[in-house]
Structure 1
């Protein structure tokens, strides 16, 4: 299986049918809107192969990346952060997870790699990282 699409849910939205959702709030401890990472496995699109987080409200994603339009610090202050992903590449991402901690060195789950951008940067909440498996 491969991740074929990614989105961010707000508040008490439920994931779309056939989508997975991590139950960790992307604004954990920061007091902002409740935000959750959701993704589709084995949809009709090509697999997602890389993640990227851009800083700045008006920043464009790198060439070949799709920008999800929800600020990852929505309602919490901090930096404007947006998750981007691409389907260009040869190594599909097969699963996603979110880790939160009071420790900036929190490890990714076994078999996962941690994307090294704290998604609560500047918002003074817990450290929040997206992790992925290939």
Structure 2
């Protein structure tokens, strides 16, 4: 059954690990603060079966924005965001996940993945169809580089 992503959820914990599913979201099991200390941070994605009627619900743009200060309002230009800092407790920049849905000129996002490396050059995901979001998710926290990649349907 083909699906696309319709929502995201950031899960933070003082304890390592998370369940495979959290409030209807399939969790990606990569800790986004790996080797940086701080909270354990995981991203969940909600999926729906692909139909011509639900394109408006599909995530079509995804980004991560870094700020010097904590943010309390959704960043301009983005329809949705999660207000959890992806660097929580690790220091560095405040990094937030943002996304848009239903943009008619873009194919929906069907999968995300994360790559961790000790240096930026080795943080590439192989395969021409994966698109890297050029924001180190651990910017300023001194440690591994972590980048998000997504795949369109």
Identify which of 79, 96, 117 aligns with 2:112. 96
Pairing of 1:25-64 with structure 2 (within 5 A): 25-42=31-48, 46-56=57-67, 57-58=70-71, 60-64=74-78
- Greater relative contact order structure (CA < 8 Å, 6+ sep): 1
Contact 1:24 1:100 in 2 (8 A): no
Give 5+ residue unaligned stretches, structure 2.
none
Deviation of 1:89 after TM superposition, in Å, equals: 1.2
Give 5+ residue unaligned stretches, structure 1.
none
Aligned pair count reads: 134
TM score, norm. by length of structure 1? 0.88
Runs (4+) of structure 1 exceeding 3 A deviation are none
Contact 2:9 2:82 in 1 (8 A): yes
Q: Looking at secondary structure, tell me which structure has more helix per residue.
A: 2
Q: CA RMSD in A?
A: 2.0
For 1:29 and 1:86, how far apart are their aligned partners in 2?
30
Contact 1:31 1:125 in 2 (8 A): no
TM score, norm. by length of structure 2? 0.78
Which structure would you say has the larger Rg? 2
Q: Looking at secondary structure, tell me which structure has more strand per residue.
A: 2
